[in-house]
């Protein structure tokens, strides 16, 4: 590097500061609106407790389902080579970039009463998914699972496979290798992926309101309640927002060791 | 080494996406549902931005086209939504970027009058009634308001959205209670209607005008006048508007016989 490269590029710093302020200001704006003294009372209103309870249950279910289906999916994408793998990966990762509302519309045409699968669920088993808590969990899993897959796949690809080979050479079956070698080695990645998936599930709005509706106590999760309460009880809406914000901060703090430690 | 670089790239993307999800998802994606049209802020006289109740979307679209056809130098853009949300936006920004407000109830307009954000006195330009809409052909045989309580899912506007407060009045007057666990709440009347037209809700209570616009995509069940509520629509120019003259001209056009005829053609009732 020449000396020129070491000079502080003030213009870049200035632009960076603007960028930082743009992200930080809304968060400061939200936090300074919080009525700290009555925060607890606000969070104890029936709408708020119902929304928080529902959010907790649904996001944990979504995280569990993401792990259950996401880990094998990540393993297949990382270790099995088959034609069209990149297409499959692209489809799996699509919910990361697709507007959640569009995801909700898609879920509706797949699992709604007239949907590809939904019509048979209704006709044969009398199951209606739309406007149910199950629909919330599905919407949240839809948007959250890619986070888990992308993280676990990266962990599987970057791990040293010689340990697996060694275990296999020493007579361990494939399941034992997976349980005793692979899983412990990717565990940090798995935890990080699950945390990201959970945070994303907790914040889900667009797919939920489109596919699951907005029913208090059944499908009205915290983000939906925030939007609806903004008109009638803005202080409760702000209180709920700050709870979501705190969760996001906690997740980032959990991942700090892994990802933010570089600074 | 190369694998590590790849992993870090993935990680950076994921962190960025999650941060976006955490902070902006709530309000960001929701706007898509109520379709904000262009919100140009212009200091030039002749461009007005009208925040209008969602139920006015189609009628005001036509009136806006007619108005600009008659006034070549004027431009009208609309920002439709729930009157409650629109009033809140105006209050929080002191009316920045908005010139005209047309509400589906007097309550939200009066809030702005009390906050001294309105220029002059609001004018009542239309009235509306409620109606029950069902799936086409009314497969669940809904005849009365009382039948709604026995359905799977009923779509109503949010409790603070005007169509939601009117619906609550109507249901109370009829002595009907629908369990809250069967009610999905739309963020404005168009979202409430969409739960029936493109969703799986069995029925909704919306304005007569929305049922008319939805046409054959819904079945409709009239609510008898003694049980029905009358929605009152006031319109006014905001004090902060930089185009008050154009806004006033637009309001005059809405009140004129041509504007009134358009509103009538969409099913709105006369203001008095």
Query: pLDDT confidence of B14, banded at 50, 70, 90?
Result: low
Distances (CA, A) of A189 to A66, A94, A147: 14, 21, 11
Of the partner residues B88, B181, B184, the one whose CB lies closest to the CB of residue A230: B88
β-bridge pairing B118-134 and B203-207: antiparallel
Task: Identify the pLDDT of residue A234.
Answer: 84
Helix axis angle, A234-255 to A46-79, nearest 10°: 30
Which tens digits make up the pLDDT trace of A50-96?
999 999 999 999 999 999 999 999 999 999 999 999 999 999 999 99
Q: Which residue does chain A place closest to B18, by CA atoms?
A: A200
Quote the pLDDT of residue B94: 87
Using the structure block, give the residue that is written with the tokens 């006015």: B56
Which residue from B13, B159, B184 is facing A131, i.e. has the nearest CB? B184
Please give the structure tokens belonging to residue A62.
Answer: 């979504």
% chain A with pLDDT above 90: 67
Asked whether residue A261 carries a pLDDT value surpassing 60, the answer given is no
Q: What per-residue confidence (pLDDT) applies to A148?
A: 96
ipTM of the complex: 0.75
Q: Considering chain B, what is the average pLDDT of its residues?
A: 86
State the pLDDT confidence band at B254, using cuts at 50, 70 and 90: very high
Task: Output A251 or B257, whichever has higher pLDDT.
Answer: B257
Mean pLDDT across the stretch A164-172? 90
Q: What are phi and psi of A213, to 5 degrees?
A: 75, -160
What's the whole-number mean pLDDT along residues B111-124? 95
Q: Find which of B26, B180, B197 to mutate to test the A interface (most A CBs within 10 Å of its CB).
A: B26
pLDDT, residue B45, reads: 56
**pLDDT tens-digit map of A173-201:** 888 998 899 999 999 999 999 999 999 99
B-chain residue closest to A247, CA distance: B22
Q: Chain B, 56-95: which have a CB under 8 Å from a chain A CB? A: 82, 84-85, 88
Q: Residue A105: helix, strand or coil by DSSP? A: helix
Q: What pLDDT does residue A5 have?
A: 57
To 5 degrees, how large is the angle CA A241–CA A246–CA A247? 100
For position B29, what pLDDT does the model report? 37
CA distances to A18, B86, B138 from A7, rounded to whole Å, are 20, 50, 74
- What average pLDDT score do residues A254-262 get? 63
């Amino acid at each position: 590097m020449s000396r020129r490269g070491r000079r502080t590029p003030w213009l870049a710093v200035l632009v960076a500061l603007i960028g930082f302020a743009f992200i930080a200001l809304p968060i400061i704006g939200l936090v300074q609106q919080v009525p700290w003294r009555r925060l607890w009372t606000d969070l104890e209103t029936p709408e708020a407790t119902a929304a928080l309870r529902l959010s907790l249950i649904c996001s944990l279910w979504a995280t569990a389902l993401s792990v259950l289906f996401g880990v094998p999916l990540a393993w297949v994408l990382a270790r099995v080579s088959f034609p069209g793998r990149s297409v499959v990966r692209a489809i799996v990762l699509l919910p990361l970039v697709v507007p959640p509302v569009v995801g909700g519309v898609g879920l509706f045409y797949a699992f709604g009463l007239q949907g590809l699968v939904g019509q048979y669920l209704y006709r044969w088993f009398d199951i209606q998914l739309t406007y149910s808590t199950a629909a919330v969990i599905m919407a949240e899993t839809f948007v959250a699972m890619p986070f888990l897959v992308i993280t676990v796949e990266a962990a599987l690809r970057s791990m040293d496979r010689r340990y697996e080979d060694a275990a296999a050479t020493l007579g361990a079956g494939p399941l034992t290798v997976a349980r005793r070698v692979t899983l412990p080695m990717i565990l940090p990645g798995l935890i990080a992926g699950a945390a990201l998936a959970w945070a994303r599930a907790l914040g889900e709005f667009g797919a939920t309101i489109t596919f699951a509706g907005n029913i208090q106590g059944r499908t009205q999760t915290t983000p939906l309640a925030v939007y609806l309460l903004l008109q009638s009880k803005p202080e409760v809406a702000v209180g709920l927002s700050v709870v979501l914000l705190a969760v996001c901060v906690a997740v980032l703090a959990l991942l700090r060791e892994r990802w933010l430690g570089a600074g | 080494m190369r694998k590590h670089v790849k992993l870090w790239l993935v990680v950076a993307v994921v962190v960025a996406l999650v941060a976006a999800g955490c902070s902006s998802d709530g309000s960001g994606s929701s706007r898509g549902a109520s379709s904000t049209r262009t919100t140009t802020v212009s200091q030039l006289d002749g461009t007005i931005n009208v925040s209008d109740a969602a139920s006015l979307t189609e009628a005001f679209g036509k009136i806006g086209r007619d108005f600009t056809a008659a006034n070549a130098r004027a431009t009208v853009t609309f920002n439709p939504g729930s009157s409650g949300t629109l009033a809140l936006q105006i209050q929080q920004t002191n009316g920045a970027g908005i010139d005209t407000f047309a509400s589906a109830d007097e309550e939200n307009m009066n809030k702005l009058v009390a906050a001294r954000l309105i220029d002059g006195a609001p004018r009542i330009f239309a009235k509306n009634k409620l109606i029950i809409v069902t799936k086409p052909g009314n497969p669940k045989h809904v005849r009365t308001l009382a039948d709604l309580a026995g359905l799977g899912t009923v779509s109503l506007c949010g409790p603070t959205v005007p169509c939601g407060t009117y619906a609550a009045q109507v249901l109370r007057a009829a002595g009907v209670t629908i369990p809250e666990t069967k009610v999905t709440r739309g963020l404005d009347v168009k979202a409430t209607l969409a739960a029936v037209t493109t969703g799986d809700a069995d029925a909704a209570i919306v304005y007569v005008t929305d049922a008319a616009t939805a046409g054959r995509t819904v079945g409709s069940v009239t609510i008898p006048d003694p049980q029905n509520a009358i929605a009152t629509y006031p319109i006014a120019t905001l004090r902060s508007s930089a185009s008050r003259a154009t806004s006033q001209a637009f309001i005059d056009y809405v009140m004129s016989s041509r504007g009134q005829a358009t509103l009538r053609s969409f099913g709105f009732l006369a203001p008095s």
